[in-house]
Structures are given as structure tokens and as C-alpha cells.
Chain A
Amino acid sequence: MKLYFTCILLVFCIASFVRSSSSATKHLFLGISPQDLNYYKSSSDTIKCKDGSKKFSKSQLNDDFCDCPDGTDEPGTSACPNSKFYCQNAGHVSQFLFSSRVNDGICDCCDGSDEYDGKVKCPNTCWEAGKVARDRLMKKIGTYSEGVTLRKREIELAKVGIAKDEAELMKLKNEEKILKGLVEQLKEHKEQIEKAEEKERLQKEKEENEKRKAEEALRETGKAEEEGKVENEKVEQEASNEDKTKESTHDDKIGNIEDSFVNEGTEEDVNKGDPSNKVENSYTSKTEGVPLNREEEHVLDKKHESASPRHNDDSAVSTEVDEEAGSKVSSGEDKKTENEASEITEGLSREELGRRIASRWTGESTENEGGIKHDTDDSHEEMHKDEHDEEEYDNYASDSDEEETGKYADDIEDDADDEADEGYEEENHDDSTSSKYDIDDESYLSETNSSNNPSWLEKIQRTFRNVLDAVNLFKTPVNISDASHIRKEYDQASAKLSKIQSRMSSLTQKLEHDFGPEKEFYAFYDRCFEIKQNKYVYKVCPYKQASQEEGHSTTRLGRWDKFEDGYKMMVFSNGDKCWNGPDRSMKVKLRCGLKNEITDVDEPSRCEYVAILSTPALCLEDKLKELQDKLDLMNKEQPREHDEL
């Protein structure tokens, strides 16, 4: 205990503590890379520190005492913190170690050269390790070389795709221009007809008194006329749906292409009408649902469609859900916050109080929880999941479900009038239309481009002329059939115009995106990648959003932000807010791989997600070359003893 009395006064000498470096001569050029050797082997006796700050003599080289601040004089010892130790690792890859690794009792170099002071004996494992590494490297090279090809193809496709998109856009612009003119004219006509009708109506009223008796007869005549018209036009159609009939009428006139528009509308209706789609986002049910509502003559088109992936519609719909649900969730979270802040704890049960207090640290919800949730034994689950999200979400989701179901039901009814609720259409339009177009690109283009058939525009123009020719605007009384014809034409044409416009805007938007230096990410547009981890499904839709789904609840992990790190990472930011934390965000690291797939998802910090996506887009030729060079190098440097074997 009396340590202080045991103290001995001594003149202290630093050297007594410094290990004598007997091994220094033996290892004079230790830790120096071949490229550097000449620097040290210079004839003169003094060597400069590489940073130019000092000089040292050859005897100071690797003498286990640091002379150069940059460590030039101690490449083979741990004396200078800034020096690097070179190990050759014949049979494997050579390596530079931090000086802190030299003679620290841990074997770092596979050739064991970093541990030479005898404290530990490091076996040379370079050949074995090198073989494993070489094998791995070869595999990687295999992946890369295949990937490079895939990537090239991808780039070619992207070029074509973009060219098509641009061509389409140009075309659409033209069409828009023409259609605009048509719509204008039709509008005029329609208005004239309406005026004429009004006039007629007034006249009729006037005449009513006089022709009271003739009234009935007149009306019957009108009816008969109408029926006759319908019968005439509806030649082969036997649709049970009366309203559909009207559409079909047009189909005949306008042609196949128009069908796709109409179908699309129908399809949307189907989506809207089927709440299960909302919730499950399953496209199987959707594709199943579609044919039921389709008429036989469209089957051909349909084949096209169902053959192509249907991600887009789904994502469009789910976006919708996410947005609404998301905002609701966050408002739910606000309320949660309110609860956390509660100063009123006296009315609570003991258990509630315990949870409430615990939640301050954990940030977990305490509201409305039965014992079940907290009793779950999987702590990691508790950590990962956002219980409150789930809870609140359920409530709100069901609310919104109902609401939307109602809306959809309305839509269906409205559909009877052909055009759905405008406001809603607008909302949903972009995504669904665009996706539709993308998917049907080929068919669309091929049909529009086929020179044999007149384009739909010509058709529509022709129809228009026919209609105009057929309808005598200035004849009174107005032919009812003519009037409805004009009206119909007008409705059709303006609907078409708005579709073209939205298509144009979505195309423009698409083309504004950054598809990478060689457009290698073009194919990512309108694609989603999924991975299931435990009970969550993570879904990454480049250029759109990333989300995490658990059962019926969806949490947005981020909206598309940008590429980072030289196109090696995709960033999704501003996701749903985390309770007591940041807005969720996701970074997707890109790796070379033969398939586009997510291989891993992680949440290193709360609500900050990281995913790894393998894709041929990252299989760069330069990198392949680099890897091949590395392999060549490794194959060259084989330790002698193994050569003999």
C-alpha cells in the first residue's frame, strides 16, 4: 500500500525502455514494396524523408525508431504511425498494412511477414487463401463478363426505347395539334346543334298547344327513328350492357387502336371497382378481372397486354394508396406524439403507465395496444417494426378503404355515362396511362406505324368528315341521331385529346429522368424490385419510390431522389416520418449481377434503410479489365514451394 515509499530516485534514461532492435539489420528492407526499393537502395548514405522534411542515414532505416514524420524511415516496423508495411503475399495479393499491424501479435499478411519478432509464428497461408481468392475472383470475372454483355444489350435497348419515346412524343405533338383543331370544330358544331335544339325545343313548346293531339304520335315517331338508328349501327354487337353499346359503336368506326383507349378506361374502371386490388395490389387478380369485362373482339389486344408485365398499373394504384394512407398515418403519429406527452398518467392502469414510460426511450407506441404486441418475445421484431404505424394504419387503411370503395362504386355507376368522374381520372391518369403505353409500346407503335392501315388519326379525321357530311346542321328539326353523333364525337375526341396530353406529359417527365451516363438504367423505369425479409416485403421502384409492406400496411421509405456515388447508389428520401426520428429514407447500393434483384435490406440506423440491388447495369467493362489484371497478377505470383509441387 505504501507505494510512494518504494519509489526510487533514478536518473531516467529513455533508451532503457526502447527495445534494442537486433533484428533491424536482418530486415533492412523489410516492408518496402518492389516499386519503392530503389528509393531506399540509392547509393548515397542518407535518404530523404519522402515529404522532404528530413533526412536519415541508412542505419536509421527500420531501426524501430521513428525519424520521419511521414514514416519513410520505418516501412518495416511499427515505430511510425504514418508508415505502411508492404507484404508480398506471393500466391495471393500483395498488401499494404498500417504500421500498427506490424509485430502486434496478430497475423495479418498471409505470408506472415508482418510478425517477425518471434512473439507469434504465422504460417504462410497465401497459397490456400490465394486459391480461394482466385476462385472467387474468377467467379466474379465470370459474372462481370456476362454482365458486360447484358449491360451492352440493355444500353442498346435503352437507346431504342428512348428513341421510340421521343418519336412517340413528336408524333403525339402532331396529333395533339390536329386533334385540338378537331375538337374545336366539333365543339362549335355541338354548340350550334345545341342552339338549334334549343330553338327547336322552344318551337316545339309553342307548337305543343296546337299539336297536342299529334304529340304522342310525334314522340313515337322519334323513338322509332332512334331505335332504327341504333339497330343499324349496332350490327354485330350483342352486348348485354346497354351503355357499353354506345362505346362499341365507336369502336367500329374508329378502329382497333381506339379500342386500346377504351379498354384502358375499362380497365381502370375495373381497378377502381375492385377494392381487393387496392389492398393486395396483386396483379393476378387484376389480370383475371380484366377479361370478364372485356368484349370478345378485344381479346387480341389483351393477349398483348397480359403478356407484358403489369407492374405499372399496380404501382400507380399503390402509390395512390400510399399517399393517402401515408398522410393519414403521419397524422396518426402526431396524435401518438400527443399521447406520449401526456401528463395525465393517474388514470392509467399500472401496465399502461409502464408502457407509457417505456415508450419514451423506445419511441414505441403505447396507444390501444393489447398485451399481445408487447409480449412478443422477439425483441428484434419490436425494434424493427413500427407498431404504431401498423396500428394506426389499420384503422386508417380500413377507413380509407371504405371511402375509396365508395368512390369506386360511384365510379362504376358513372361509367354508365362513359366518362368517369373527371377529377379522379386526372389524378390517376398519369401513371396508369403511361404504364399502359409503355407496356403496349410495341403494339401501339407497330399498329400506328403500319403503313397498310390508315392511322387512327386518319380514321378519326375521316369519321369526323363523315359525321359532318352526314349531319345537316342547319336543318330543322335537328336530326336527333345526328346530334347525338356529334356530341359523342366531341366527347370521344376531347377525351382522346386529354389522354394524349397526359401521355405527353408523362413521356416528357420520363425522358427528363437521369438514366445514367449510358442510359443503362432506362429499363429501371416502370420496374419494381422486391425482397421479403422476415415479415416485411421491401419494394424498390426506381424513379418512383421505395416502400416496406407488412400485410396490409405500407410504409413509404422514400421517394425517388437521385443517383449518388457515381451511379453506384440510388437515393430515396422524404419517406414517412419516423416517430421521434427522421423521415424515413433508403439508399440502394448497386452491384454488378446478372439479374436485377435486391439481395439484401438493412436498417443500420433507425428509419434509415440500405438495400443492395444487383444489376447488369453495374457490370462495367473497365472494372472487368481491372479484375482480369488482378487475376493475372495473382496467377503470376505463386510461392516457390508450391511451384515445385
Chain B
Amino acid sequence: MKRIAFFFLLFLASQTVHSWKKDEFRACDQTPFCKRARFRKPGSCTLIATDVSISDGDLTAKLVPKAQQDHDQDPIKPLTLSVSVYQDGILRLKIDEDPSLDPPKKRFQVPDVILPEFESKKLWLQSASTEKLDGNIAGLSSVVYLSDGYEAVLRHDPFEVYVREKAGNRRVVSLNSHGLFDFEQLRVKKEDEDWEERFRGHTDTRPYGPQSISFDVSFYESDFVYGIPEHASSFALKPTRGPGVEESEPYRLFNLDVFEYVHDSPFGIYGSIPFMVSHGKSGKSSGFFWLNAAEMQIDVLAKGWDAEDGILMPIDQNRIDTFWMTEAGIVDTFFFIGPGPKDVVKQYMSVTGLPAMPQLFSTAYHQCRWNYRDEEDVENVDSKFDEHDIPYDVLWLDIEHTDGKRYFTWDKLLFPHPEEMQRKLAAKGRHMVTIVDPHIKRDDSFDLHKDASQRGYYVKDATGKDFDGWCWPGSSSYPDVLNPEIRSWWSEKFSYKNYVGSTPSLYIWNDMNEPSVFNGPEVTMPRDVLHLGGVEHRELHNAYGYYFHMATADGLVKRGDGKDRPFVLSRAFFAGSQRYGAVWTGDNSADWDHLRVSVPMILSLGLTGMSFSGADVGGFFGNPEPELLVRWYQLGAYYPFFRGHAHHDTKRREPWLFGERNTALMRDAIRIRYTLLPYFYTLFREANVTGVPVVRPLWMEFPSDEAAFSNDEAFMVGNSLLVQGIYETRAKHASVYLPGKESWYDLRTGTAYKGGKTHKLEVSEESIPAFQRAGTIVPRKDRFRRSSTQMMHDPFTLVIALNTFQEAEGELYLDDGKSFDFKQGAYIHRCEGR
């Protein structure tokens, strides 16, 4: 009887089987640090900067409370503050507890994200000038040189740090202008205190108690802010708090494996990059990056949110205020002065590194499915591509290819001859990718597990035992990839000797590295799990996937004796992941909304360094109608990372399965990508050298064109092509805004359209709107082959679109497409003009 009643209850709750389970994730008001921080009032920070001096080339100070504290409160110990200045207009601000005052624990600083060579770009500060602010206020400020035309300012009372243009005293970026700064210092637990936090049956022991940090950051000359992926939301970040904003969550940065994420939400999904870029009418951009891997929540504040707070802010500058909160870690922040959008990106990359140069094949089309079942299936799919004369470069194998989800193994029944299978593909110049996830099956007969547990390489639970979580293989443990030694151990597993059945044409896919733990809180690892040196998982959570990605990519480099560029696709990411490979937007759904949101998601990723990104073409969950699938291929052909993928419950959807007409349409879409491969490869090189993403927002190329600022329907591929998706069924028309003064030529028909206006265009099923800008040259290869490998020796076609001065410019970059020889100059790069 009981059982029946239980069933009945469950039945009532079954209405939302296919939707995001919002309740299973912590909202801000269920997250104590976030809830508390959001209640803080502007001006409540009482810290002032004292002992300001120059030491070791930095501007340093102590932050102490201005007023004497009440005796019954905990004593606030002074915090250390340092301001450093780096080449190209970068200010770094660090605030931490003073190690000389014996804090209970060293707070975590995220290692191995900042490039080692970044330190060499530090400008050694010699002196600071002191100025009195606005005459009548008692406060003093210390001013140091930042770069030509820019200064960094530390106001002492109340403490505030900002960057300004020397000319006209115009501010760029500031921190704590609204006095929201708060830094919970580590302390000893009092007897009556309960530090534990509970969420949906999970208990977080929080042995170190509260340690959150929050502060406000303001961007000047700014109309919109962008970045801080990963969210399925608009590219220009909508305000989350303030006048006119309905109750909304802050943008959450917390890497999570979200089942069927929704297409318009500030909730956190697979990756986190705490880097925000602002842009405004002046055409100028600035940026702010907080190197912190704990859970972060960021509010974008609507204009007028501070109307009643009486804080004096410069009124002649358009400004966007933001509020940043994190659970743990330190303040280690970077201010980027711009002034152009590409400058901001470059500045950010000089801290976190430039995107890796991918292999040519990985910039072509990838075919994936959960799962291509066996060798026969693989052979079949491969030959069908040839039969239909559709090019593709990579065939992917999802988790089912393994022996019981033990990565680095093969199911002996389904894949008895993996090497032969790969060789067959390789004979046609094609490659294979297999999945390797971080959860290791706890099976004593599994060598990898034995090895890891004997060496003590697993992440430990709060009691010190190997953490045991549930994932695909069942009971699993996770390597502690924070530890460089363990990363090195992991990377050895990719050698041909260790990875039995792997060949040089095999590359890797890292999934589930948020990390996904099915029975953990919010489907991830408990925050009190322990890493190297007693670091709590809460402190590094957002970077776990990054370290795993890093170790895997290093493994592929080692495997090829440092000669072969790695290709590793990762789902989780953090600042710096661009150095290790590609990412994709995870488990999206086969609907028009997800097609639509893929563009802002990819734009946000590109803006924050992750140039090599894409969304699953067709949508992972569900069955796309043929029209949607065709539109997705047409759009996906312009994603930097172009892969079709599908859930195992879906119908087969390889491009030839929907009738001749649709096959032809998808073939055409894929072929467009192949003709443009020389252009894409050149753009990947540009990203590799400058950090400017392959796919970029319109305003990055047209910084003063206001109409482009919030346009996330269209995007630029390089500086020459503008592409806009068709996001609705049976579309007859599309409104396309073409920026700038020059004309644009329809890629397919060659028809010219005037720039600087919105065109209402007729839409056919054959293509989505795509244009080449007048004044550009786009290199192509117009011969179709089975895969990019065979295109190596094919002739180029240059499409030259002259501008009003009868001139055009373009670039072409070429190298061997796979080795690191380009680093020794084995490449050709041409910029052609006139």
C-alpha cells in the first residue's frame, strides 16, 4: 500500500520530466554568502588604506577599519593590498589576509593559470604621487603610472582602486566605488556556531567557516557589459538587479552538469570565466578579470540602482556597475584599459594565454553521436559520407565504446579491432576522437584505478578517504588534477603504449569534467572534498575541468614527442582553457531557441578567450525536424568548432537521412565550411597570435556602431564575413543589420547591399544570410574532397570584394596543418592589399 501511494505521489510530480530541474540547483538566496552579500548596502565598507608605499615595484597598503570596532565583534585584522602594473595597460590588484598575522589557513590562489612569462611584463614602479581629491574631502589618493595616458589610483579613505585616463581625468574601471567591498576573514569557530550548510540532503561541513569576498566594479564610458561565460543567455548581459528588473538571479559562475539547461537563464552551466568586457558609444572597451575558482555570483546593476545611496560618482560618464561575490579565495583582479575591444582581449590573453593553434583537421566538420555502436557502424557511417560526397574529418566515439565505462579501454565485442578501424579512417585522411572522462571506475581489476588508488592520486573526501562518487561507470573516484605530479601521471596514460588500441590519428574528448558527480550536491563534487595541500574543493571547483583538460592536452603532446598539436575537446573550462583546446556548449536541445542562443554563447566564449568553440549541431536532446537540422548545419558551418552530435535516445540524423533535398542542403552547408577552411585556418592563426576570436561580435569590428552593440543574432567571422542565422521555422524574410559604411556582398549570389542599415531580405531554404564586406579578400579552396587532408595541395580561390576606393585587403596563413614547426617559422603568412 505504501508503495502504491508513493507511486501516486511521484506521478503527480511527473509533469516536468523534460525540463531543467531548477530546484536541484542553489539559487542565490539558498547560498548564504550570496544572500548576505546581496543585502549589503553601498557605503558599508569601512576599510581605509594605510601604510601606503612602494615596495618591490608594487604599490602596497594595509586595509584597516576606519572606526574603532565594538569589543564584542571579532577583531578585523589588517588586509594586505598590492597594486602591480604590467605592459600593455594591465593593472593587477591583490587583496589577501596578512600571512604574517597567522591566519588559520592560507587562502587559495589559483595556480597555473597566469602565464609564467606574464611576470616578466611587470613594470617596476618607482614612485607614487599623492594627490588630494576634489580639494574639500580629506581623502588622499596615491597615483601611479599605468601606461601612456593612463594612471592607476588608490584612494585611501574610503579605499577605492581605479584606472583613469590622464587626459580629462576620465575613469575607465574602478573597484569599491560604492563601498560594497567585504572580506570575511578566516577565524576560529566559536562554540555556539554552526558552520555546516545543508542543501537537499547534502551537508557541507564547511570546516573553515565563512570566507567569502564581495565588491563592486564599475565600468565607465560603457553602455553594455559582456562576457563571464558560461550562461545560456543574451550576449549583452542584462541587468539582474535594480530599477525595472524583475526578481532575477545573479549570473552564476559554477561549473555544473545541468540536465537539459534552459535557453535563457543566468544560472551556471559547464564552464566559468570570470572576465567581463564593457563597451560603449565612445567606441571604447575595458575589461575586468578576477582570478578566483570558487563559486562566483555576479550582479549587473541596472542604472539608478544606487539612486538613494548618496554615493558620489562622476556623472559625466556613462557607467555600468556590477557586483561580484565569491565563496572563497582571494582578491586577485586584473583591470584592462583597452581602449579598443581587441586591445582588451589581447590584454586579457597576455595574462591567461593565447588560444592554441589547432590542427587543420579539427577546424573541419566532426561527426559524433552517442553512440556509434560498433566497428561496423563506424564503417557504415564513414562510407555513407563518401557515398553522398559529403566531406567530414573526424568520427567520434562516446562512452559506450569503452569496456564498462573504463576509459582507455575498448569494448571487446563492439570494438575488437580499434587500431584497424582507425587506420581505415586514416587511410582517407580522417581522424577519430574517443572520450576520456575524469571519473575512474572503482574496480580493483582496472589497472588505472589500481594505480591511482595505490599512489593516493584521488581527491579525498572530508574524512580523508578516497572520494567515492557516482558517475557513468557507477562508483567512481576522481584524480586530483590540481597536483602537477598527478597531471603528469595522467598525461602518461595517453602514450600509445598505455592507451592500448590508440593510434596517431586518435584524439581526445574530455566530458563530465565540471566534475559531474551524479550523487553529489548539484550533480557535482561536495565542496568539502580535499585536494592537494588541504585545498578544499570549494576553492578550486571552477578550475577542476581546466586542470583536467590541461593534463589531457599535455598527454597528447607527450604522446607525439612534442611534434603533434593536441586536439582535446572539453566541456568544462576556466580562464586559460583556450591554451589547451576546444570547448562546446554541452547538452543543448533540438529546438529553435537553442539554435538561437548558440550564437550569444559562442560570442561570449570567443570574447573571453575560448575562440575554438561550438554548439552541438542539431541539438543534443530531442529530434530536430529536418528544417531545424538544415538551419543548424547552415549556421554551424560558421561555428569555430563544427560538430554534429546527438543523444542516444534520438533518431539517427546523419545528413543523408532526410531525403535528397535535405541531404543536398546539408551537403552544401558542410561544403561551405570546407571551401572556407583556408580563411578559418588563417583566423585561428590570428587568434593564436593576437587573441582576437575567430567568431566575434559586430562591435569588435565596428566599435562605434551603436546599432551593433546588442546584436547577437549576427556575428562576424573574422573581419570579412557577416553571418546571421535563421532562427525560426518557415522563415520568409530576415532583418539583417549590416554595419559600417562599405557595401556587403551576398556570399551566394554576389548581390551588393549598403552598409549602415537594416535590410529586410528574402530568405530561401538554401542558405542563411552571409555577406562579405567590401574591401576584403577571402581565401577559399573550392574543390571538394573527402576530408580536409586531401585539400592540402588544391588550388586557392581568392574572393576579392573591392571597396569604394577599389581596394581590398586580406590575409592567408598556411603551415603543415599539424606540427609545431610553425613556431620555428615554417609557415607562410600573406597580407595582401589594394
Contact = CB atoms under 8 A, between A and B. Distances in A.
Nearest to B16: A341
Nearest to B792: A105
Contacts of A344: 9-10, 13
Interface string B774-793: 00010000111110001001
Interface stretch (B306-314, B398-406, B602-610, B716-724): B398-406
Interface in B1-48: 7, 9-11, 13-17, 21, 23-24
Contact of A354 (B201, B389, B518): B518
Given A353-B518, A379-B404, A338 B7 contact: yes
Contact of A343 (B21, B795, B798, B829): B21
B790 A341 contact: no
Interface stretch (A306-314, A356-364, A465-473, A626-634): A356-364
Interface stretch (A5-13, A197-205, A256-264, A542-550): A5-13
Given A7-B829, A98-B389, A361-B259, A605 B651 contact: yes
B784 A81 contact: yes
Contact of B403 (A104, A335, A347, A379): A379
Q: How large is the interface on A (under 10, 10 to 19, 20 to 34, 35 or more residues)?
A: 35 or more
B786 A106 contact: yes
Interface in B781-834: 782-786, 790, 793-798, 800, 811, 813, 829-834
B786 A358 contact: no
Nearest to A1: B689
A340 interface: yes
Contacts of B532: none
Contacts of B391: 100
Contacts of A337: 14, 17
A606 B7 contact: no
Contact of B830 (A7, A18, A363, A578): A7
B170 interface: no
B200 A346 contact: yes
Interface in B357-413: 371, 373-374, 377, 389, 391, 399-400, 402-405, 411, 413
A244 interface: no
B547 interface: no
Interface in A93-129: 98-101, 104-106, 119
B645 to A, nearest CB: 13
Contacts of B650: 605-606
A380 B414 CA distance: 8
B647 A605 contact: no
A374 interface: yes
Given A9-B833, A346-B200, A354-B469, A3 B689 contact: yes
Given A361-B647, A378-B413, A350 B14 contact: no
Nearest to B370: A361
B490 interface: no
Interface in A361-380: 361-363, 371, 374-380
Contacts of B519: 350-354, 357
A66 B671 CA distance: 17
Interface string A81-101: 100000000000000001111
A367 B17 CA distance: 16
B523 interface: yes
Nearest to B675: A81
A351 B469 CA distance: 8
B829 A6 contact: yes
A3 B16 CA distance: 54
B10 A339 contact: yes
Contacts of A64: 795
A474 interface: no
A587 to B, nearest CB: 12
A4 B391 CA distance: 33
Contacts of B21: 343
Interface string A11-53: 1101001110000000000000000000000000000000000
Contacts of B427: 106
Contacts of B800: 12
Contacts of B649: 363, 578, 580-581, 606
Chain B interface residue bracket vs A: 35 or more
A606 B373 CA distance: 11
B259 A105 contact: no
Interface in B275-312: none
B450 interface: no
Contacts of B108: none
A233 to B, nearest CB: 57
A608 B651 contact: yes
B471 interface: yes
B831 A379 contact: no
Given A354-B471, A375-B474, A380-B400, A100 B783 contact: yes
B793 A383 contact: no
Nearest to B12: A338
Contact of B518 (A346, A355, A578): A355
Interface string B177-214: 00000000000000000000000110000000000000
Nearest to A604: B652
B267 interface: no
B689 to A, nearest CB: 5
B121 interface: no
Nearest to B469: A354
A383 B400 contact: yes
Contacts of B732: none
A248 B640 CA distance: 85
Interface string A533-553: 000000000000000000000
Interface string B484-514: 0000000000000000000000000000000
Given A7-B811, A383-B371, A343 B13 contact: yes
Nearest to B796: A17
A342 interface: yes
Contacts of A66: 782
B666 to A, nearest CB: 15
A228 interface: no
A614 interface: no
B745 interface: no
Contacts of B517: 354
A87 to B, nearest CB: 16
Contacts of B413: 378, 380
B798 A341 contact: no
Nearest to B405: A379
A375 B443 CA distance: 10
B744 interface: no
A581 B475 CA distance: 27
Contacts of A582: 651
B470 A10 contact: no
B10 A379 contact: no
B429 A358 contact: no
Given A7-B831, A377-B404, A383-B371, A104 B13 contact: no
Contacts of B785: 78, 100, 104
A79 interface: yes
Contacts of B811: 7
A580 B648 CA distance: 10
Interface of B: 7, 9-11, 13-17, 21, 23-24, 200-201, 259-260, 371, 373-374, 377, 389, 391, 399-400, 402-405, 411, 413-414, 427-429, 469-472, 474-475, 517-519, 523, 587, 647-652, 671, 685, 689, 777, 782-786, 790, 793-798, 800, 811, 813, 829-834
Interface of A: 1, 3-4, 6-12, 14, 17-19, 64, 66, 78-79, 81, 98-101, 104-106, 119, 334-335, 337-348, 350-358, 360-363, 371, 374-380, 383, 578, 580-582, 603-606, 608
Given A355-B470, A383-B373, A604-B652, 12 more contacts: A1-B689, A9-B831, A104-B790, A338-B10, A343-B21, A350-B470, A354-B517, A354-B518, A363-B648, A379-B405, A606-B649, A606-B650
12 contacts: A9-B831, A64-B795, A105-B790, A335-B11, A338-B7, A345-B201, A348-B201, A350-B519, A357-B470, A358-B470, A377-B403, A605-B652
